[in-house]
Amino acid sequence: MRRASTFEIIAARAWNVLNEGRPFTPVFVAGVFLLYHAGDWGQAAFWAAFGAALAAVLPLLAIYYVYDFPLYLRNYLWLPVVAALVVWDGAKDVIGLWLTGIGLYFFFTVFFWGTFYYHLRIGTTWLNFTRFWKLVLQHSDSTSGNAQEQLPKTLLLLFVMETVYGWTREGSSGSEDWVTLYLFMAAVWLMAWVLHRYLFDWKPKERSESPATLPPVQGAISRKVYVLVVDGMRKERFEQANAPFLKRLRSEGTEFTAMETVYPARTVVCFSSMFTGAYPREHGIQSNFVYRLGVRTETIFDSLRKVGKTGRLLGIAHLIDSMGDDVDAITAVMRHDRADAETVEMAKRIVEERNPDLMVVQLIGTDQIGHSRGVFYDDYLEKIEAADRLLEDFVGWLEKRGLLEEATIVVCADHGQAIGIGGHGHLDEGERWVPFFMAGHGIRQGIKVDTPHSLVSLAPTLAYLLGAPYPDHSRGPVLTEALADRRGEEAKEGLETT
Ligand SMILES: [Zn+2]
Protein backbone atom coordinates (compact mmCIF):
# COMPACT_ATOMS: atom_id res chain seq x y z
CA MET A 1 0.00 0.00 0.00
CA ARG A 2 1.70 3.16 -1.17
CA ARG A 3 0.75 6.76 -0.77
CA ALA A 4 1.49 9.14 -3.63
CA SER A 5 4.95 10.69 -3.22
CA THR A 6 5.64 14.40 -3.62
CA PHE A 7 7.48 13.51 -6.82
CA GLU A 8 4.35 11.82 -8.14
CA ILE A 9 2.12 14.77 -7.26
CA ILE A 10 4.44 17.10 -9.20
CA ALA A 11 4.96 14.59 -12.02
CA ALA A 12 1.18 14.17 -12.36
CA ARG A 13 0.86 17.93 -12.87
CA ALA A 14 3.66 17.93 -15.44
CA TRP A 15 2.13 15.00 -17.33
CA ASN A 16 -1.17 16.87 -17.50
CA VAL A 17 0.52 19.59 -19.57
CA LEU A 18 0.88 16.95 -22.29
CA ASN A 19 -2.23 14.96 -21.46
CA GLU A 20 -4.81 17.75 -21.52
CA GLY A 21 -5.48 18.99 -25.04
CA ARG A 22 -5.36 22.70 -24.18
CA PRO A 23 -1.78 22.99 -22.93
CA PHE A 24 -0.64 20.21 -25.28
CA THR A 25 -1.40 22.06 -28.53
CA PRO A 26 1.01 25.02 -28.11
CA VAL A 27 3.74 22.93 -26.47
CA PHE A 28 3.56 20.25 -29.16
CA VAL A 29 3.40 22.62 -32.13
CA ALA A 30 6.34 24.70 -30.90
CA GLY A 31 8.28 21.47 -30.28
CA VAL A 32 7.58 20.08 -33.77
CA PHE A 33 8.58 23.37 -35.37
CA LEU A 34 11.85 23.51 -33.43
CA LEU A 35 12.73 19.90 -34.21
CA TYR A 36 11.99 20.34 -37.90
CA HIS A 37 14.30 23.35 -38.02
CA ALA A 38 16.92 21.88 -35.69
CA GLY A 39 19.63 22.45 -38.29
CA ASP A 40 19.13 26.22 -38.09
CA TRP A 41 19.40 26.62 -34.34
CA GLY A 42 22.92 28.07 -34.67
CA GLN A 43 21.67 31.12 -36.58
CA ALA A 44 20.47 34.15 -34.65
CA ALA A 45 18.07 34.92 -37.53
CA PHE A 46 16.34 31.59 -36.88
CA TRP A 47 15.36 32.48 -33.35
CA ALA A 48 14.03 35.88 -34.39
CA ALA A 49 11.93 34.28 -37.13
CA PHE A 50 10.76 31.52 -34.79
CA GLY A 51 9.69 34.16 -32.25
CA ALA A 52 7.79 36.05 -34.94
CA ALA A 53 6.09 32.84 -36.12
CA LEU A 54 5.05 31.92 -32.59
CA ALA A 55 3.75 35.42 -31.89
CA ALA A 56 1.76 35.35 -35.12
CA VAL A 57 -0.23 32.26 -34.10
CA LEU A 58 -1.11 33.54 -30.62
CA PRO A 59 -4.63 34.58 -31.73
CA LEU A 60 -5.24 31.05 -33.07
CA LEU A 61 -3.92 29.53 -29.86
CA ALA A 62 -6.28 31.79 -27.93
CA ILE A 63 -9.24 30.59 -30.02
CA TYR A 64 -8.28 26.97 -29.38
CA TYR A 65 -7.91 27.72 -25.70
CA VAL A 66 -11.29 29.40 -25.31
CA TYR A 67 -13.36 27.12 -27.55
CA ASP A 68 -13.57 23.37 -26.96
CA PHE A 69 -14.83 22.12 -30.36
CA PRO A 70 -16.49 19.22 -28.50
CA LEU A 71 -17.55 15.97 -30.18
CA TYR A 72 -18.59 16.46 -33.81
CA LEU A 73 -17.74 20.19 -33.74
CA ARG A 74 -14.10 19.12 -34.16
CA ASN A 75 -14.86 18.26 -37.81
CA TYR A 76 -15.17 21.98 -38.50
CA LEU A 77 -11.51 22.45 -37.56
CA TRP A 78 -10.61 21.23 -41.05
CA LEU A 79 -12.36 24.21 -42.71
CA PRO A 80 -9.63 26.75 -41.85
CA VAL A 81 -6.94 24.24 -42.87
CA VAL A 82 -8.45 23.99 -46.34
CA ALA A 83 -9.05 27.76 -46.42
CA ALA A 84 -5.41 28.46 -45.53
CA LEU A 85 -4.20 26.24 -48.39
CA VAL A 86 -6.40 28.15 -50.81
CA VAL A 87 -5.49 31.62 -49.49
CA TRP A 88 -1.73 31.09 -49.38
CA ASP A 89 -1.37 28.33 -51.95
CA GLY A 90 1.60 26.98 -50.07
CA ALA A 91 0.93 23.29 -49.49
CA LYS A 92 4.14 22.10 -51.13
CA ASP A 93 6.27 24.17 -48.74
CA VAL A 94 4.81 22.61 -45.63
CA ILE A 95 4.49 18.93 -46.58
CA GLY A 96 7.73 18.01 -44.78
CA LEU A 97 6.76 19.95 -41.69
CA TRP A 98 3.27 18.48 -41.70
CA LEU A 99 4.55 14.92 -42.04
CA THR A 100 6.93 15.57 -39.14
CA GLY A 101 4.00 16.86 -37.07
CA ILE A 102 1.73 13.92 -37.95
CA GLY A 103 4.51 11.41 -37.32
CA LEU A 104 5.44 12.88 -33.96
CA TYR A 105 1.79 13.11 -32.97
CA PHE A 106 1.21 9.40 -33.50
CA PHE A 107 4.55 8.56 -31.95
CA PHE A 108 3.61 10.56 -28.88
CA THR A 109 0.05 9.21 -28.51
CA VAL A 110 0.34 5.60 -29.69
CA PHE A 111 3.84 4.71 -28.50
CA PHE A 112 4.93 7.14 -25.83
CA TRP A 113 1.57 7.47 -24.07
CA GLY A 114 -0.36 4.37 -25.10
CA THR A 115 2.53 1.93 -24.77
CA PHE A 116 5.59 3.13 -22.76
CA TYR A 117 3.72 5.35 -20.32
CA TYR A 118 0.91 2.91 -19.61
CA HIS A 119 3.33 0.02 -19.34
CA LEU A 120 5.45 1.82 -16.78
CA ARG A 121 2.53 3.29 -14.88
CA ILE A 122 -0.10 0.58 -14.74
CA GLY A 123 1.54 -2.46 -16.30
CA THR A 124 -0.33 -2.80 -19.59
CA THR A 125 1.33 -4.93 -22.27
CA TRP A 126 4.28 -3.69 -24.41
CA LEU A 127 2.01 -4.47 -27.37
CA ASN A 128 -0.66 -2.01 -26.29
CA PHE A 129 -0.01 0.04 -29.47
CA THR A 130 -1.76 -2.69 -31.45
CA ARG A 131 -5.00 -1.56 -29.86
CA PHE A 132 -4.18 2.00 -28.89
CA TRP A 133 -3.88 3.40 -32.44
CA LYS A 134 -7.55 2.58 -33.03
CA LEU A 135 -8.51 4.33 -29.82
CA VAL A 136 -6.54 7.48 -30.78
CA LEU A 137 -8.31 7.70 -34.12
CA GLN A 138 -11.83 7.38 -32.63
CA HIS A 139 -11.16 9.21 -29.44
CA SER A 140 -13.42 12.16 -28.67
CA ASP A 141 -12.48 13.83 -25.40
CA SER A 142 -10.54 16.94 -24.49
CA THR A 143 -7.17 15.24 -24.03
CA SER A 144 -4.26 15.33 -26.45
CA GLY A 145 -5.18 11.81 -27.62
CA ASN A 146 -8.07 13.20 -29.68
CA ALA A 147 -6.49 12.88 -33.14
CA GLN A 148 -9.46 14.28 -35.02
CA GLU A 149 -9.18 17.44 -32.96
CA GLN A 150 -5.43 17.77 -32.53
CA LEU A 151 -4.40 17.02 -36.15
CA PRO A 152 -6.27 19.89 -37.85
CA LYS A 153 -5.17 22.26 -35.08
CA THR A 154 -1.56 21.16 -35.47
CA LEU A 155 -1.60 21.38 -39.26
CA LEU A 156 -3.08 24.89 -39.31
CA LEU A 157 -0.72 26.21 -36.65
CA LEU A 158 2.33 24.72 -38.38
CA PHE A 159 1.19 26.12 -41.71
CA VAL A 160 0.78 29.66 -40.39
CA MET A 161 4.03 29.45 -38.43
CA GLU A 162 5.98 28.27 -41.46
CA THR A 163 4.42 30.98 -43.62
CA VAL A 164 5.30 33.77 -41.20
CA TYR A 165 8.72 32.21 -40.64
CA GLY A 166 9.33 32.38 -44.38
CA TRP A 167 8.24 36.04 -44.53
CA THR A 168 10.56 36.95 -41.69
CA ARG A 169 13.58 35.03 -43.00
CA GLU A 170 13.21 36.49 -46.48
CA GLY A 171 11.91 39.91 -45.42
CA SER A 172 9.27 39.35 -48.09
CA SER A 173 6.00 40.26 -46.40
CA GLY A 174 4.02 43.36 -47.25
CA SER A 175 1.37 44.95 -45.08
CA GLU A 176 -1.37 43.27 -47.18
CA ASP A 177 0.04 39.88 -46.14
CA TRP A 178 -0.46 40.72 -42.50
CA VAL A 179 -3.93 42.14 -43.12
CA THR A 180 -4.88 38.90 -44.89
CA LEU A 181 -3.49 36.87 -41.98
CA TYR A 182 -5.43 38.82 -39.36
CA LEU A 183 -8.64 38.70 -41.41
CA PHE A 184 -8.14 34.96 -41.74
CA MET A 185 -7.77 34.53 -37.99
CA ALA A 186 -10.78 36.76 -37.37
CA ALA A 187 -12.78 34.45 -39.63
CA VAL A 188 -11.62 31.41 -37.63
CA TRP A 189 -12.72 33.14 -34.43
CA LEU A 190 -16.11 33.97 -35.97
CA MET A 191 -16.55 30.35 -37.05
CA ALA A 192 -15.70 29.13 -33.55
CA TRP A 193 -18.12 31.59 -31.96
CA VAL A 194 -20.99 30.64 -34.29
CA LEU A 195 -20.41 26.90 -33.82
CA HIS A 196 -20.34 27.10 -30.02
CA ARG A 197 -23.19 29.56 -29.84
CA TYR A 198 -25.61 27.73 -32.12
CA LEU A 199 -24.55 24.09 -32.38
CA PHE A 200 -23.18 23.24 -28.93
CA ASP A 201 -26.53 22.44 -27.34
CA TRP A 202 -25.75 19.45 -25.09
CA LYS A 203 -24.06 21.28 -22.22
CA PRO A 204 -26.10 20.54 -19.06
CA LYS A 205 -28.44 23.30 -17.93
CA GLU A 206 -27.34 24.67 -14.58
CA ARG A 207 -29.46 24.31 -11.46
CA SER A 208 -30.51 27.53 -9.84
CA GLU A 209 -30.79 26.42 -6.20
CA SER A 210 -28.52 27.93 -3.56
CA PRO A 211 -28.01 27.22 0.17
CA ALA A 212 -30.72 29.81 0.91
CA THR A 213 -33.37 27.94 -1.08
CA LEU A 214 -32.42 24.41 0.06
CA PRO A 215 -34.38 22.78 2.90
CA PRO A 216 -33.01 23.75 6.33
CA VAL A 217 -30.64 21.16 7.78
CA GLN A 218 -32.14 19.75 10.98
CA GLY A 219 -29.42 17.68 12.61
CA ALA A 220 -27.83 14.52 11.30
CA ILE A 221 -29.83 11.70 9.77
CA SER A 222 -26.83 9.42 9.27
CA ARG A 223 -24.03 8.72 11.71
CA LYS A 224 -21.63 7.89 8.87
CA VAL A 225 -21.76 8.24 5.11
CA TYR A 226 -19.59 6.21 2.74
CA VAL A 227 -19.36 7.42 -0.86
CA LEU A 228 -17.95 4.76 -3.18
CA VAL A 229 -16.97 6.17 -6.56
CA VAL A 230 -16.13 3.75 -9.37
CA ASP A 231 -14.28 6.22 -11.57
CA GLY A 232 -15.32 6.23 -15.21
CA MET A 233 -17.94 3.48 -14.90
CA ARG A 234 -20.14 3.79 -17.96
CA LYS A 235 -23.77 3.24 -17.03
CA GLU A 236 -24.71 0.75 -19.74
CA ARG A 237 -21.50 -1.25 -19.23
CA PHE A 238 -22.30 -1.46 -15.51
CA GLU A 239 -25.68 -2.94 -16.45
CA GLN A 240 -23.92 -5.53 -18.61
CA ALA A 241 -21.36 -6.41 -15.95
CA ASN A 242 -21.77 -9.25 -13.49
CA ALA A 243 -21.78 -7.06 -10.37
CA PRO A 244 -24.09 -8.84 -7.91
CA PHE A 245 -23.08 -6.88 -4.82
CA LEU A 246 -23.61 -3.40 -6.22
CA LYS A 247 -26.82 -4.42 -7.95
CA ARG A 248 -28.20 -5.91 -4.74
CA LEU A 249 -27.29 -2.73 -2.87
CA ARG A 250 -29.07 -0.74 -5.55
CA SER A 251 -32.21 -2.88 -5.32
CA GLU A 252 -32.23 -2.36 -1.56
CA GLY A 253 -31.98 1.40 -1.87
CA THR A 254 -32.94 4.27 -4.14
CA GLU A 255 -31.59 4.53 -7.65
CA PHE A 256 -31.40 7.79 -9.60
CA THR A 257 -31.75 6.66 -13.19
CA ALA A 258 -31.09 10.05 -14.82
CA MET A 259 -28.05 11.34 -12.93
CA GLU A 260 -25.95 13.64 -15.04
CA THR A 261 -22.34 14.67 -14.60
CA VAL A 262 -20.94 18.16 -15.24
CA TYR A 263 -19.21 19.71 -18.26
CA PRO A 264 -16.33 19.23 -18.94
CA ALA A 265 -16.52 15.67 -17.61
CA ARG A 266 -12.91 15.39 -16.45
CA THR A 267 -12.18 13.57 -13.21
CA VAL A 268 -10.86 16.46 -11.14
CA VAL A 269 -13.63 18.75 -12.44
CA CYS A 270 -16.34 16.20 -11.60
CA PHE A 271 -14.98 15.44 -8.12
CA SER A 272 -14.72 19.16 -7.41
CA SER A 273 -18.39 19.62 -8.36
CA MET A 274 -19.51 16.52 -6.46
CA PHE A 275 -17.92 17.70 -3.20
CA THR A 276 -18.54 21.45 -3.46
CA GLY A 277 -21.99 21.21 -5.06
CA ALA A 278 -20.85 24.00 -7.38
CA TYR A 279 -20.34 24.24 -11.13
CA PRO A 280 -16.83 24.38 -12.64
CA ARG A 281 -17.06 28.12 -13.37
CA GLU A 282 -17.82 28.62 -9.66
CA HIS A 283 -15.28 26.29 -8.02
CA GLY A 284 -12.69 27.17 -10.66
CA ILE A 285 -11.42 23.69 -11.61
CA GLN A 286 -12.09 23.53 -15.34
CA SER A 287 -9.85 20.65 -16.41
CA ASN A 288 -7.53 18.02 -14.98
CA PHE A 289 -4.70 20.49 -15.54
CA VAL A 290 -5.14 22.79 -12.57
CA TYR A 291 -3.54 26.21 -13.07
CA ARG A 292 -4.42 27.54 -9.66
CA LEU A 293 -4.45 25.04 -6.81
CA GLY A 294 -7.53 24.59 -4.68
CA VAL A 295 -11.25 25.05 -5.26
CA ARG A 296 -12.58 28.57 -4.82
CA THR A 297 -15.78 27.55 -3.01
CA GLU A 298 -16.45 25.63 0.19
CA THR A 299 -16.31 21.86 0.11
CA ILE A 300 -18.33 19.35 2.10
CA PHE A 301 -15.17 18.85 4.15
CA ASP A 302 -15.25 22.53 5.17
CA SER A 303 -18.92 22.15 6.11
CA LEU A 304 -18.22 19.12 8.28
CA ARG A 305 -15.44 20.95 10.14
CA LYS A 306 -17.95 23.65 11.10
CA VAL A 307 -19.94 21.12 13.13
CA GLY A 308 -16.91 19.28 14.49
CA LYS A 309 -17.14 16.36 12.07
CA THR A 310 -14.55 14.90 9.76
CA GLY A 311 -14.42 13.78 6.16
CA ARG A 312 -11.69 12.14 4.07
CA LEU A 313 -11.38 11.57 0.35
CA LEU A 314 -9.14 8.71 -0.72
CA GLY A 315 -8.27 9.08 -4.38
CA ILE A 316 -5.63 9.80 -6.99
CA ALA A 317 -2.95 12.47 -6.53
CA HIS A 318 -4.61 14.89 -8.99
CA LEU A 319 -7.40 15.42 -6.47
CA ILE A 320 -4.96 17.11 -4.07
CA ASP A 321 -4.74 19.94 -6.62
CA SER A 322 -8.42 20.54 -6.05
CA MET A 323 -9.19 19.59 -2.44
CA GLY A 324 -5.79 19.74 -0.75
CA ASP A 325 -5.37 18.30 2.72
CA ASP A 326 -8.77 16.61 2.78
CA VAL A 327 -7.41 14.13 0.25
CA ASP A 328 -5.39 11.01 0.98
CA ALA A 329 -3.71 10.29 -2.31
CA ILE A 330 -2.99 6.77 -3.33
CA THR A 331 -0.29 6.34 -5.93
CA ALA A 332 -1.62 6.05 -9.46
CA VAL A 333 1.63 4.37 -10.50
CA MET A 334 0.60 0.83 -9.84
CA ARG A 335 -0.25 -2.26 -11.81
CA HIS A 336 -3.85 -1.87 -12.90
CA ASP A 337 -4.74 -5.25 -11.39
CA ARG A 338 -3.54 -4.07 -7.96
CA ALA A 339 -4.73 -0.45 -7.86
CA ASP A 340 -8.28 -0.95 -6.59
CA ALA A 341 -7.36 -3.68 -4.11
CA GLU A 342 -4.67 -1.44 -2.61
CA THR A 343 -7.10 1.46 -2.48
CA VAL A 344 -9.57 -0.62 -0.48
CA GLU A 345 -6.78 -1.69 1.90
CA MET A 346 -5.80 1.93 2.38
CA ALA A 347 -9.45 2.92 2.91
CA LYS A 348 -9.66 0.36 5.72
CA ARG A 349 -6.53 1.77 7.29
CA ILE A 350 -7.91 5.33 7.16
CA VAL A 351 -11.18 4.18 8.73
CA GLU A 352 -9.22 2.35 11.44
CA GLU A 353 -6.97 5.32 12.17
CA ARG A 354 -9.37 8.23 11.82
CA ASN A 355 -12.90 6.81 11.55
CA PRO A 356 -14.19 9.81 9.56
CA ASP A 357 -17.87 10.70 9.48
CA LEU A 358 -17.71 10.97 5.70
CA MET A 359 -15.43 8.59 3.83
CA VAL A 360 -15.11 8.91 0.06
CA VAL A 361 -13.28 6.17 -1.82
CA GLN A 362 -12.34 6.50 -5.49
CA LEU A 363 -11.62 3.26 -7.33
CA ILE A 364 -9.56 4.21 -10.39
CA GLY A 365 -9.04 0.79 -12.04
CA THR A 366 -12.13 0.87 -14.25
CA ASP A 367 -11.27 4.32 -15.57
CA GLN A 368 -7.64 3.36 -16.16
CA ILE A 369 -8.48 0.28 -18.16
CA GLY A 370 -11.06 2.25 -20.16
CA HIS A 371 -8.33 4.75 -21.03
CA SER A 372 -5.67 2.23 -21.85
CA ARG A 373 -7.68 -0.61 -23.41
CA GLY A 374 -11.01 0.94 -24.47
CA VAL A 375 -14.52 0.69 -23.04
CA PHE A 376 -16.02 -1.79 -25.50
CA TYR A 377 -13.72 -4.68 -24.65
CA ASP A 378 -13.99 -7.38 -22.01
CA ASP A 379 -11.06 -5.94 -20.00
CA TYR A 380 -13.32 -3.05 -19.02
CA LEU A 381 -16.22 -5.25 -17.85
CA GLU A 382 -13.81 -7.38 -15.85
CA LYS A 383 -12.58 -4.28 -14.04
CA ILE A 384 -16.13 -3.30 -13.05
CA GLU A 385 -16.67 -6.84 -11.80
CA ALA A 386 -13.46 -6.67 -9.76
CA ALA A 387 -14.59 -3.35 -8.27
CA ASP A 388 -17.87 -5.00 -7.28
CA ARG A 389 -16.05 -7.71 -5.31
CA LEU A 390 -13.69 -5.22 -3.67
CA LEU A 391 -16.52 -2.96 -2.58
CA GLU A 392 -18.38 -5.98 -1.20
CA ASP A 393 -15.28 -6.76 0.83
CA PHE A 394 -15.00 -3.16 2.07
CA VAL A 395 -18.66 -2.85 3.05
CA GLY A 396 -18.54 -6.26 4.75
CA TRP A 397 -15.47 -5.11 6.67
CA LEU A 398 -17.32 -1.96 7.79
CA GLU A 399 -20.30 -4.04 8.87
CA LYS A 400 -18.16 -6.35 11.00
CA ARG A 401 -16.87 -3.35 12.89
CA GLY A 402 -20.37 -2.04 13.52
CA LEU A 403 -19.69 0.98 11.33
CA LEU A 404 -22.74 0.45 9.15
CA GLU A 405 -25.13 1.17 12.00
CA GLU A 406 -27.03 4.30 11.05
CA ALA A 407 -24.70 4.62 8.07
CA THR A 408 -25.66 5.55 4.53
CA ILE A 409 -23.87 4.39 1.39
CA VAL A 410 -23.75 6.27 -1.90
CA VAL A 411 -22.40 4.52 -5.00
CA CYS A 412 -21.72 6.43 -8.20
CA ALA A 413 -19.32 7.21 -11.02
CA ASP A 414 -17.87 10.68 -11.60
CA HIS A 415 -18.50 10.36 -15.36
CA GLY A 416 -18.97 7.58 -17.88
CA GLN A 417 -16.68 6.92 -20.80
CA ALA A 418 -17.08 7.37 -24.55
CA ILE A 419 -15.43 5.75 -27.55
CA GLY A 420 -11.71 5.68 -28.19
CA ILE A 421 -9.35 5.89 -25.25
CA GLY A 422 -12.23 5.62 -22.81
CA GLY A 423 -12.61 9.27 -23.54
CA HIS A 424 -14.49 11.63 -21.33
CA GLY A 425 -14.83 15.36 -21.22
CA HIS A 426 -17.10 16.45 -24.03
CA LEU A 427 -20.20 14.69 -22.77
CA ASP A 428 -21.27 12.22 -25.36
CA GLU A 429 -24.22 10.19 -24.09
CA GLY A 430 -21.96 7.45 -22.75
CA GLU A 431 -20.17 9.88 -20.44
CA ARG A 432 -23.08 11.99 -19.44
CA TRP A 433 -25.34 9.65 -17.45
CA VAL A 434 -23.73 7.93 -14.50
CA PRO A 435 -24.80 5.09 -12.21
CA PHE A 436 -25.98 6.62 -8.92
CA PHE A 437 -27.72 4.98 -6.00
CA MET A 438 -28.04 5.34 -2.24
CA ALA A 439 -28.71 2.66 0.34
CA GLY A 440 -28.66 2.06 4.04
CA HIS A 441 -29.80 4.21 6.91
CA GLY A 442 -32.52 6.75 6.12
CA ILE A 443 -32.84 5.66 2.49
CA ARG A 444 -36.04 4.40 0.90
CA GLN A 445 -35.89 0.84 -0.38
CA GLY A 446 -36.60 -0.39 -3.89
CA ILE A 447 -37.20 3.07 -5.35
CA LYS A 448 -36.21 4.34 -8.79
CA VAL A 449 -36.17 8.08 -9.34
CA ASP A 450 -36.40 9.02 -13.01
CA THR A 451 -36.36 12.79 -12.50
CA PRO A 452 -33.17 14.22 -14.05
CA HIS A 453 -30.57 15.18 -11.45
CA SER A 454 -26.99 16.40 -11.44
CA LEU A 455 -23.96 15.25 -9.49
CA VAL A 456 -23.82 18.78 -7.99
CA SER A 457 -26.61 17.51 -5.71
CA LEU A 458 -24.18 15.19 -3.95
CA ALA A 459 -22.53 17.81 -1.68
CA PRO A 460 -25.78 19.33 -0.33
CA THR A 461 -27.24 15.85 0.10
CA LEU A 462 -24.20 14.78 2.14
CA ALA A 463 -24.51 17.95 4.24
CA TYR A 464 -28.18 17.21 4.80
CA LEU A 465 -27.50 13.60 5.83
CA LEU A 466 -24.67 14.52 8.19
CA GLY A 467 -26.32 17.59 9.71
CA ALA A 468 -23.72 20.05 8.44
CA PRO A 469 -24.28 23.45 6.80
CA TYR A 470 -24.40 23.44 3.02
CA PRO A 471 -21.15 24.35 1.24
CA ASP A 472 -21.53 28.03 0.29
CA HIS A 473 -22.05 27.49 -3.44
CA SER A 474 -24.13 24.30 -3.25
CA ARG A 475 -26.62 24.00 -6.05
CA GLY A 476 -28.69 20.99 -5.39
CA PRO A 477 -31.50 20.14 -4.95
CA VAL A 478 -31.01 17.81 -1.97
CA LEU A 479 -31.92 14.31 -3.18
CA THR A 480 -34.92 14.08 -0.87
CA GLU A 481 -36.65 11.53 -3.10
CA ALA A 482 -34.31 8.97 -1.57
CA LEU A 483 -34.95 9.87 2.06
CA ALA A 484 -37.21 7.61 4.09
CA ASP A 485 -38.85 10.33 6.13
CA ARG A 486 -38.86 12.88 3.31
CA ARG A 487 -38.00 15.49 5.92
CA GLY A 488 -36.59 17.78 3.32
CA GLU A 489 -39.80 18.01 1.38
CA GLU A 490 -41.93 18.59 4.48
CA ALA A 491 -39.61 21.31 5.64
CA LYS A 492 -39.81 22.96 2.25
CA GLU A 493 -43.62 22.80 2.23
CA GLY A 494 -43.66 24.19 5.78
CA LEU A 495 -41.62 27.13 4.67
CA GLU A 496 -43.87 27.88 1.74
CA THR A 497 -47.00 28.08 3.88
CA THR A 498 -45.57 30.53 6.39
ZN1 LIG B 1 -12.82 10.08 -13.59
Has residue 12 been placed in a domain?
Answer: yes
Residues 300 and 151 in one domain: no
> What's the gap in Å between 250 CA and the centre of ligand 1?
21
> What's the gap in Å between 384 CA and the centre of ligand 1?
14
Number of domains in the chain: 2
> What's the gap in Å between 232 CA and the centre of ligand 1?
5
pLDDT over threshold 80, residue 280: yes
User: What's the confidence (pLDDT) of residue 25?
Assistant: 97
> What's the gap in Å between 290 CA and the centre of ligand 1?
15
Has residue 25 been placed in a domain?
Answer: yes
> What's the gap in Å between 57 CA and the centre of ligand 1?
33
> What's the gap in Å between 73 CA and the centre of ligand 1?
23
> What's the gap in Å between 45 CA and the centre of ligand 1?
46
Q: What are the residues facing 453 on neighbouring strands?
A: 259
pLDDT over threshold 90, residue 123: no
pLDDT over threshold 70, residue 484: yes
User: What's the confidence (pLDDT) of residue 126?
Assistant: 87
> What's the gap in Å between 424 CA and the centre of ligand 1?
8
Residues 177 and 241 in one domain: no
Has residue 298 been placed in a domain?
Answer: yes
> What's the gap in Å between 394 CA and the centre of ligand 1?
21
Give the mean model confidence (pLDDT) for residues 107-133: 83
> What's the gap in Å between 415 CA and the centre of ligand 1?
6
115 vs 390, higher pLDDT = 390
CATH classification at residue 280: 3.40.720.10
pLDDT over threshold 80, residue 80: yes
Residues 139 and 248 in one domain: no
Residues 169 and 305 in one domain: no
> What's the gap in Å between 267 CA and the centre of ligand 1?
4
User: What's the confidence (pLDDT) of residue 458?
Assistant: 98
Q: pLDDT-derived band of residue 213, with 50, 70 and 90 as boundaries? A: very high
> What's the gap in Å between 467 CA and the centre of ligand 1?
28
> What's the gap in Å between 23 CA and the centre of ligand 1?
19
> What's the gap in Å between 17 CA and the centre of ligand 1?
17
User: What's the confidence (pLDDT) of residue 182?
Assistant: 96
Residues 233 and 168 in one domain: no
> What's the gap in Å between 265 CA and the centre of ligand 1?
8
Lowest average pLDDT, out of 161-170, 178-187, 208-217, 287-296, goes to: 287-296
User: What's the confidence (pLDDT) of residue 92?
Assistant: 73
Give the mean model confidence (pLDDT) for residues 162-180: 90
> What's the gap in Å between 15 CA and the centre of ligand 1?
16
Has residue 214 been placed in a domain?
Answer: no
pLDDT over threshold 50, residue 490: no
pLDDT over threshold 50, residue 493: no
Lowest average pLDDT, out of 51-55, 333-337, 383-387, 476-480, goes to: 333-337
Q: pLDDT-derived band of residue 2, with 50, 70 and 90 as boundaries? A: low
> What's the gap in Å between 361 CA and the centre of ligand 1?
12
> What's the gap in Å between 29 CA and the centre of ligand 1?
28
Residues 194 and 70 in one domain: yes
Domain range enclosing 191: 6-198
Residues 321 and 187 in one domain: no
Residues of the chain with pLDDT > 90, as a percent, come to 71
> What's the gap in Å between 176 CA and the centre of ligand 1?
49
